């Protein structure tokens, strides 16, 4: 009797996990059939914004392609005049900083990968503004007309990355003659470039030497070391003329 009960227990223990696993699989199938239409609806809902974002990307690419080759044309367009007027691009820009006193330096960059800061600088906020050495009208907005010195980024609010590009473009434009360079006036006198004043004297003419006379008088008073002279003669004895 005990043996038969033991066999029945073993059979039940072996079949119970199989039954439980089948029930779990059936329940998963029922849940998937119920949630399948909802997933399809969510996928369609999610696919529509991506299509709209791709359309926006194409539009932005078209906008950039208009001025990427000739960025100076943007400053003459109606879009630029309507947005900035006759003022520089940085005139109405206000920096966001903590406290009442602005920091001594602007941020390093406004765009890090795909992330854009909340208040980008005057150049980074407008994708149509491209720093180029031929874009003279843009470069002149960042140069003081009185002194010819480039404005400090703490005044214009430009980030340090764009400021480096501006400095390089301005230097290249000046080298190419597209921007004027103000050189300091230096007074000079003609005496600095003449040979008639006291600091400059004509070179004396060489005097004529007679036979046996040395060019330097002090050269005849020099007496070489006898041992050193004998060593040199032994080295070059094959090349020296015999004494007559």
Q: Tell me the mean pLDDT in the region 51-79.
A: 67
Highest-scoring range by mean pLDDT, 5-19, 84-98, 162-176, 209-223:
162-176
Q: Tell me the mean pLDDT in the region 238-242.
A: 81
- In this structure, is residue 77 part of a structural domain? yes
Domain of 78: which CATH number?
A: 4.10.640.10
Find residue 115's DSSP bridge partners.
Answer: 112
CA distance 87 to 72: 16
- In this structure, is residue 8 part of a structural domain? no
With 80 as the cut, is the pLDDT of residue 92 above it?
yes
pLDDT value, residue 33: 43
Sign of the Cα torsion 97, 102, 103, 109 reads positive
The count of structural domains within the chain is 1
**Contact of 153 with 102, CB cutoff 8 Å:** no
pTM of the full structure? 0.52
62 pLDDT tier (thresholds 50, 70, 90): very low
Structural domain for 164, as ranges: 73-176
- In this structure, is residue 209 part of a structural domain? no
CA distance 30 to 22: 13
Task: Please give the residue that has the higher pLDDT: either 138 or 19.
Answer: 138
């Amino acid at each position: 009797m005990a043996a038969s009960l033991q066999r029945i227990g073993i059979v039940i223990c072996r079949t119970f996990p199989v039954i439980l696993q089948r029930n779990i699989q059936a329940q998963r199938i029922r849940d998937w059939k119920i949630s399948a239409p909802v997933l399809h609806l969510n996928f369609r809902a999610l696919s529509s914004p991506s299509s709209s974002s791709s359309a926006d990307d194409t539009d932005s690419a078209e906008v950039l392609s208009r001025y990427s080759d000739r960025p100076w044309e943007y400053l003459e367009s109606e879009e630029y005049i309507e947005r900035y007027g006759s003022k520089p691009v940085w005139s109405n820009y206000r920096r966001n900083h903590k406290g009442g006193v602005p920091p001594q330096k602007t941020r390093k960059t406004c765009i890090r990968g795909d992330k854009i800061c909340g208040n980008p600088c005057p150049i980074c906020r407008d994708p149509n503004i491209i720093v180029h050495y031929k874009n003279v009208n843009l470069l002149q907005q960042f140069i003081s007309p009185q002194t010819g010195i480039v404005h400090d980024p703490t005044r214009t609010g430009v980030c340090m990355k764009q400021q480096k590009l501006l400095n390089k473009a301005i230097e290249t434009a000046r080298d190419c003659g597209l921007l004027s360079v103000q050189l300091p006036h230096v007074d000079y006198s003609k005496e600095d470039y003449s040979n008639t004043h006291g600091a400059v004297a004509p070179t004396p003419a060489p005097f004529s030497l007679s036979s046996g006379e040395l060019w330097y008088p002090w050269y005849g008073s020099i007496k070489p070391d006898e041992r050193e002279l004998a060593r040199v003669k032994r080295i070059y004895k094959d090349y020296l003329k015999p004494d007559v």
